[in-house]
Amino acid sequence: MPRFLSLVRIDEATAPAGGPSPELQQRMGALLEEITKAGVMLDTAGLTPTSEGVRVRHEKGGKLTVTDGPFTEAKEVIGGYALMQAKDKAEAVEWARRFVEVHGDEYDVTCEVRQIAE
Cα distance between residue 102 and residue 52, in whole Å: 26
Range of the domain at 27: 3-115
Q: Can you give the pTM of this predicted structure?
A: 0.88
CATH code (residue 82): 3.30.70.1060
Q: What is the pLDDT of residues 59-114, one digit of tens each?
A: 999 999 999 988 767 678 899 999 999 999 999 999 999 999 999 888 889 999 99
Across 32-41, 48-57, 104-113, the highest mean pLDDT is recorded for 32-41
Q: What is the pLDDT of residue 105?
A: 85
Rounded-to-integer distance, Cα 49 and Cα 7, Å: 15
CA distance 86 to 104: 25
Instruction: Determine the pLDDT at residue 12.
Output: 85
Number of domains in the chain: 1
